[in-house]
Structure 1
Amino acid sequence: MKNHLRPLMMLLAAIFIVFTTGLSAAQAASPHFKKGGEPVCTVSTSTGSASTTCRTVLTGLGNDDLLATVTTSGSAVYQCQNQGGNVAPGQNKVLVGPATAPTFISGDAIKNGNLTLVTEPSVLTAPATVTGAEAGCPNPNWTGVNPTLTITSIHLVIEQPVGTVIFDCSASSSTGLTGRVPLTC
């Protein structure tokens, strides 16, 4: 009788091993931010351009590839220049963007479910000139010049595996985002 139970016991042991191995892998993929590692983006602006880079520290990741995409949008205010070269302030905010920057991380770079993620910069650039009407100039013979760009929204989407969103974070302000900007997820 013992010889008949042996194959059954081996089969049950194999099923148990397969089940518990699968369960461990499923439990390991529970992504979250480490304490103090919530996403923060840094906005660096020059007159007509702005670069945004985001940083976060993640744990509980699986071993799949990861994709983080930063999308920024903003507005620019122009000066109005007439054909004689005289300059006056414009009146309108001109929408600029969006600019998108993907950052791909190979699953091999994720160690024990942990990753310090620093994204590629999302660079938003205002056109050097716009029409007088767009800039809010006194008449159509004027041109909008010398843009001053302001970032008004940042959107960070993190996917793992690629195609499955695990975090969707953002910040926005009609008056502008500058310096270190914490995101809400």
Structure 2
Amino acid sequence: MTLNTQLLTMLSMMIGGIYLGFATETFRRAAMTWKSNLILSYVFEICFWITQTCILFFVLYNVNEGELRFFIFLACLLGFSIYTVLFKAMYKRLLEFFIKIMKTTIKWTIQTINVLIIHPIKWTIQMIITILLYVVHVCRHLLFFLFKILFYPIKLLINVMKIILPEKVVKNITSMATFCSTIIYKLKKWLKKVFLKRR
């Protein structure tokens, strides 16, 4: 390894250490979201460190073809220390500010979607259901009213026939009327059941 390559490797690893500080801080802040889930915390922790190792080794491979030396680890540690001393406090404040903006944006977006899309759709559906129920209610009352109108003359005719016709004929007519009345009653009961189910 030439001197230029060594210097470039040290510089790259110092920058890599600074990057690792930023990445670790970001990951630690994000980890607060799933810290209650122990398994998830372990899985994400392992994935994070594997990813960071791969990134740093990729940088190292492009600089000196992946040749590992002790000073490389020292350079990386130095970079991380530089991040801790110079950038950590500022980056934490910046990260919290960014998270706050993100939370506000997401909250505002959800509220906007609720006001402009969800609430109008819910209101429209409620209105349609109310109108349909009202139509069904009106139709039911109209049907019962029509039944009364249709069978009122028949009822009158039966009463007149009871007076005019012989008793035997009246009995036959009465039994037929009772039969028809039973059918009508069952039909009315069925209609009520159907309409009530739809409501």
- Whichever structure has more helix as a proportion of its residues is 2
What TM-score do you get using the length of structure 2 for normalisation? Answer: 0.24
Find the structure with the greater CA-based Rg: 2
What TM-score do you get using the length of structure 1 for normalisation? Answer: 0.25
